[in-house]
Amino acid sequence: MPTPRRALLVLLLLLLLAAASLLAALLAGSYAVAPGVVFDALLGNGSGVGAEVVVNLRLPRALGAFACGGLLALAGALMQVLLWNPLADPYVLGISGGAGVGALAAMLLGLPLIFIHGGAFAGALAAMLLVFGLARGDNSWTQARLLLTGVIVAAGCGAAVALILSVAPEQKLHGMLFWLMGDAGQIVSPWPPLAVLAAGLVAALPFAREMNLLARGETLAATLGVAVPRLRAVLYVLASLLTAAAVTSAGSIGFIGLVVPHLMRLLLGTDQRLLLPAAAIAGGILLPLADTLARTVVAPQQLPVGVLTALIGVPAFLFLLTRQPRASA
C-alpha cells in the first residue's frame, strides 16, 4: 500500500517517462529532422521545414495522443471499479459504438470534419444517456443490469455501424475504417482532450478512497459510509465523458483502456489514489509511442494507431493473464 511520498515518486517517474515518450514522437518520422532542430523548434526559435513539421504536425499529434491515451486509461480504471470487473473497458457500455454511429453518419453525408467530431460526440452522449436511463429504470443500479444494458446498446450501435459501412460508397470506406480503428491523425487540436483529462482527474481524485471501498464490494462500502448510488453515478458520468472526449478526438482506439489500468494494478497495487493518476499518465506514455510506431513502421504509409495498440495489447494482455492468474480474477 503506497504512502503519499511513494505515490508522488512513482508519479514523477511516470511523468519523466511521458516526457521521453513525447520526445521520441517528435524525433521520429518519415521526414528526418535533426535533434538540434527539434529542440530549437520547441524553444520557439526554429525555422525551416523541419521546425514546421515538428511544431505544426508532430507536436499537436503527440500531445493529442498523450491526452487520448490518458483519457482512455483513466476511463478504463473508473469503469473497472464501476462494473466491479477487472476486465471492463471504456467501450463496454456502448460509448464508442454511439460515437461510431455519429461519426460515420456524418462521413456518409459528406459533412466537413467538424461535423464528424460533433457527430461522434453527440453519438457518444446519446449512448451514454440511453444506457444511463435504461439501467436506472428501477433505481437499482446493479452492475449486472448496467453491464447488460450497455452491452446490448453497444451491439445495436455495432449493427448500425455495419449498416452504414455496407451502404457507404467505396471512396469513403477507407476513412470510415480508419476512424473505427482509431487514428491519432484525425486529432485537430490537442487542447480539448488535454483539458478534459485534467478536469477528469481533478473530479475523480476526491472520490479515490471511496472507490477503493466500492472495489471491495458495495455492502462494505455502504457499511463504511460511502453513498454508493451517488458514487456510481459519478463514476458512470465521468468515465463516459472521458471516453466520449477520447473517441471524439481520435476514434475508438482499443486496448489502452483495458490494458493500462490492469498493468498499473499489477505494478502498483489497487489503491485508486495512486492508480488513477498513474493510469492516466501511463496511457499518455503508451499511446504516443504506439502512434510513433504507426507512423514509421511502414512509412511513408501510416497505420491507424488502433491496429497497433490491439496488435501489441492482445499478446501483452494474454501474457499478464497467464502470469498472474488469480490476481485479476
Q: Can you list the pairs that 170-175 forms with residues at least 24 positions away whose Cβ atoms lie under 8 Å?
A: 172/107, 172/108, 172/110, 175/107
- CA 90, CA 246: separation in Å to the nearest integer? 10
Quick count: other Cβ atoms within 10 Å of Cβ 232?
23
Compare residues 220 and 299 and give the one whose CB is closer to another protein.
220
In the complex, the smallest distance separating the C-beta of residue 89 from another protein, rounded to whole angstroms, is 15
* Residues between 256 and 275 with contacts to another protein, criterion CB under 8 A: 265, 269-271, 273
Nearer to another protein, 218 or 291 (CB): 218
145 binds another protein (CB under 8 A): no
Which 152-171 residues touch another protein, going by CB under 8 A? none
User: Degrees (nearest 5) of the Cα angle 234, 282, 54?
Assistant: 115
Q: Between 187 and 206, how does the x/- string for binding to another protein read (CB under 8 A)?
A: -------------------x
Sole binder of another protein in the list 8, 32, 162, 224 (CB under 8 A):
224
- Cis bond upstream, residue 112 (ω within 30): no
Q: Which of 155, 163, 216, 314 contacts another protein by CB under 8 A? A: 216
Spatial CB neighbours of 144, under 8 Å, sequence gap ≥ 6: none
CA atoms within 13 A on the CB side of 132: 18
What minimum distance in Å lies between the beta carbon of 94 and another protein?
22
213 interacts with another protein by CB under 8 A: yes
Radius of gyration of the chain (CA): 20
Binding another protein by CB under 8 A: which of 135, 187, 215, 294? 215
Angle formed at CA 235 by CA 222 and CA 319, multiple of 5 degrees: 100
Among 116, 226, 307, 308, binds another protein (CB under 8 A): 226
Is residue 1 within the footprint of another protein (CB under 8 A)? yes
Footprint (CB under 8 A) of another protein, residues 84-143: 84-86
Q: Are 216 and 81 in contact (CB under 8 A)?
A: no
Residues that bind another protein (CB under 8 A): 1, 3-4, 84-86, 206, 209-210, 212-213, 215-217, 219-220, 222-227, 265, 269-271, 273, 326-328
